[in-house]
């Protein structure tokens, strides 16, 4: 690690908030691309404000949304692989975004020289890996209704402490259906039920209420919430 004047310690937050050598601040409008699937992986983006999404396109042209990203997330971390390759997905802005674009060279340097930054980045990678595993478990074992509840909560950032009921970025029901692996008609049915039960509100934009957490955390679907626990019958031998 480099020797640094005690009066000028390295601050990861300052580094990620400002342009400098090997990094610049960019603004993207809704649907504008950070990068496309198949592009050279040579930069990493740090999302300062706004929300973004990752999508992939299959060989037959079918598009699927992998995940949504919000302020504080890195985008394009695959560019730090030991052998630079190609982008595996497309990253695009969901709403107006401001991001710090960092070259692969500068990202590698600061991770090597600054342990505080390396710690921050590795924590992001670990959280990202855990979320990917949770997404896989979600797809394998949970119902499509519970998967929809989880996606809405993630988009509303209820995983962050202190968050209040909040609006999510504009998203079509077709996109939600792709993310949870079901049909648009099923998403419409679930969304209408969530609204009727007070889990979400809709007035031009979708507002997710904290009560939706009951569907995920308590592992109970709406019909089950009003049922009494089953009575255990013990038979005489």
CA angle 110, 13, 158 (to 5 degrees): 120
138, 172, 197 - which closes a domain: 138
Share of the chain above pLDDT 90, in %: 38
Residue 69, domain member (yes or no): yes
* Statement to judge: residues 130 and 161 lie in one domain: no
Residue 176 belongs to domain with CATH number: 1.10.10.10
pLDDT in tens, 156-203: 877 565 555 578 877 888 888 877 778 899 999 999 999 998 899 987
Pairing between β-strand 63-70 and β-strand 90-93 as defined by DSSP bridges: unpaired
Domain that holds residue 202: 143-223
How many structural domains does the chain have?
2
100, 119, 138 - which closes a domain: 138
Residue 162, domain member (yes or no): yes
Residue 2, domain member (yes or no): no
Give the per-residue pLDDT at 211. 84
Return the sign of the alpha-carbon dihedral for residues 137, 151, 62, 70: negative
* Statement to judge: residues 32 and 84 lie in one domain: yes
Residue 235, domain member (yes or no): no
Query: What is the pTM for the complete model shown?
Result: 0.70
* Statement to judge: residues 216 and 193 lie in one domain: yes
138, 164, 192 - which closes a domain: 138
């Amino acid at each position: 690690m480099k020797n640094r004047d005690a009066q000028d310690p390295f601050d990861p937050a300052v580094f990620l908030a400002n342009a400098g050598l090997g990094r610049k601040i960019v603004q993207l409008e809704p649907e504008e691309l950070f990068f496309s699937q198949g592009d050279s992986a040579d930069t990493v983006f740090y999302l300062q404000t706004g929300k973004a999404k990752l999508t992939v396109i299959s060989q037959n042209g079918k598009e699927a949304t992998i995940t949504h990203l919000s302020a504080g997330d890195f985008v394009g971390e695959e560019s730090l692989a030991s052998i630079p390759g190609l982008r595996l997905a497309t990253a695009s802005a969901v709403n107006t975004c401001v991001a710090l674009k960092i070259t692969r060279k500068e990202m590698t340097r600061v991770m090597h020289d600054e342990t505080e930054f390396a710690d921050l980045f590795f924590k992001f990678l670990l959280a990202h890996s855990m979320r990917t595993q949770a997404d896989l478990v979600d797809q394998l074992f949970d119902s499509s209704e519970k998967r929809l509840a989880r996606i809405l909560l993630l988009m509303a950032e209820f995983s962050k402490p202190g968050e209040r009921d909040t609006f999510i970025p504009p998203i079509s029901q077709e996109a939600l259906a792709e993310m949870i692996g079901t049909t648009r008609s099923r998403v419409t049915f679930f969304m209408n039920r969530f609204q009727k039960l007070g889990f979400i509100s809709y007035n031009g934009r979708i507002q997710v209420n904290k009560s939706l957490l009951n569907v995920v955390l308590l592992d109970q679907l709406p019909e089950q919430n009003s049922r009494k626990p089953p009575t255990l019958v013990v038979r005489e031998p």
